[in-house]
Amino acid sequence: MPNALISVTDKSQLVEFAQELVTLGWVIWASGGTSNELRKNSITVNELSDYTGMGEMLGGRVKTLHPAIYAGILARDIHEDEKVLANNNWLRFDLVVVNLYPFEKKVQSPNIDLSEAIENIDIGGVALLRAAAKNFQRVLVVCDPADYSVVIDALKSGQNTETLRRSLAWKAFGVTSRYDAFIAGFLSSGEVYPLNLYRCQNLRYGENPHQQAIFYSFSPNEKPFDGRVLQGKELSYNNILDVDAGWRVVSSFDEPTVAIIKHLSPCGIASANTVAEAYRQALECDPVSAFGGIVASNRVIDETAAIQMKDLFIECIVSPGFTSEAMEILSRKKNCRVIEIPISTQYSNEQWELRSVYHGVLRQSVDWGDPHGTEWRVVTSKHPDQEQMVALKFAWKACQHVKSNAIVLAKGKSTVGIGGGQPNRVQSVRIAIENAGERARGAVMASDAFFPFPDSIEVAAKAGIGAIIQPGGSVRDNDVIRAADNSGIAMIFTGVRHFKH
């Protein structure tokens, strides 16, 4: 009868998996908590300590570190190795199931001390995984509960192939590599930064058809955004970039919000009482650029919203969900990808973001808007009225998602003109005003960084802008404030810049 060694921290699906193994004729050997969990659920299990003749020691630091165990895992299908096992009356282990102490999760806690972190460094588990993975030509190694069903199906169908064992082996080595990298990063206080990536999806091509592209994830078997494609083809390289930009926008708003994105740039952003109204207002901002873009919503898309979307060519629609009526309508848009992204996939959970550069990687903390304690101050003689304040707050948040130099014009809680990605700020102002047309009159204006000259204020005044919000901090702030006062424009300084490159 084949022997399985099981020692797991994450006990999800463990009982069902073990029961399947027993039914298939496997003998289960386990340690400590794993053994107790199986016995509690009436699973026949043997204690590893009874086999080795040694119990846990050093407060649980030593459990499975014994030659009787490792010889049984590392023994090859050759006469010499079989003789060693027989002479010592040692077992052969054909399946090793291990997951590790949650070191990475534990050290995310801001209050963890060094001693607690050290006790969450797994030694025996890593050694077991590495031993089993090294001997994949004979041994199955399982480090992820998600693979339990795969292994059971293979055993039932007689498909315990070397191809399967090899794929599980490299996954195990990936887990131990990532595990050690996080320990090194923690102990070195950032001198070592762990970056383990798993290929999850081959893309048709990159930004252009002559470029190759692959989607990698920080965890095995993840889809982009942890989402589900409900309709249409798999996301392309450019789709993933645009969906990322759109989901970042709508994740930063609490109210029902829609963002329309084209080439990583927002064409329109709006918040309203319903998704349908938010979409209508976002589309009005720049309906020409919206053609061929992606639509992101932070609320379920219903029939009313879907009806409004049916006539525009949209590459992709992403949302936490879609009603059946909405899906019926959207199903007629044959070339439109419909993606459901769990509401739990919020960027507020992310602490750091990475960007590749030549021969290196840049790492920075995520810009979640103004830091806690930021105080805005009115710097002009005229103060914004209540209606303008609502629009300024919305425009300021929307502006953070536009490429620098970024200018956003807004009325209420919707953009009416967006100008971004220009090397000079006054040009971004002109583009935003041109896109807004007559809607610029009475709108407010947000700028992601200070105005270096009063020219942008003068252009805004001619268009009828009523209030401005910007960080301030220019050596010519007094000139800029004077220009706003001369034009009867209210202006707020936030003291916080929000460049986006």
Task: Give the distance from CA 198 to its chain's centroid.
Answer: 14
For residue 134, indicate whether it is catalytic.
Answer: yes
Task: For 302-458, list the strands marked E by DSSP.
Answer: 314-319, 337-340, 352-357, 360-365, 377-378, 407-411, 414-419, 444-447
Q: Decide: 278 and 294 in contact? Cβ < 8 Å.
A: no
Q: Are strands 467-470 and 490-493 parallel, antiparallel or unpaired?
A: parallel
Q: Decide: 185 and 149 in contact? Cβ < 8 Å.
A: no
Measured CA angle at 88 (ends 36, 35), to 5 deg:
5
| Whole-number Å distance between alpha carbons of 182 and 90 | 35
Active-site annotation holder among 263, 382, 393, 500: 263
Cα Rg of the chain, angstroms: 29
Count other C-beta atoms under 10 Å from residue 350's C-beta.
12
Active-site annotation holder among 106, 134, 223, 500: 134
Local structure of 294: helix, strand or coil: strand
CA-CA-CA-CA torsion sign (152, 154, 157, 160): negative
List Cα–Cα distances, 383 to 127, 414, 484, 492, in angstroms. 67, 21, 11, 8
Token pair in block for residue 302: 């219903």
Side-chain half-sphere CA neighbours of 398 within 13 A: 38
Could you tell me which residues come within 8 angstroms of residue 115 by beta carbon, excluding any fewer than 6 positions away? none
For residue 263, indicate whether it is catalytic.
Answer: yes
| Whole-number Å distance between alpha carbons of 357 and 353 | 13
| Whole-number Å distance between alpha carbons of 180 and 192 | 11
Could you tell me which residues come within 8 angstroms of residue 46 by beta carbon, excluding any fewer than 6 positions away? 27, 28, 29, 30
Q: Looking at the annotation, which residues are catalytic? A: 134, 263
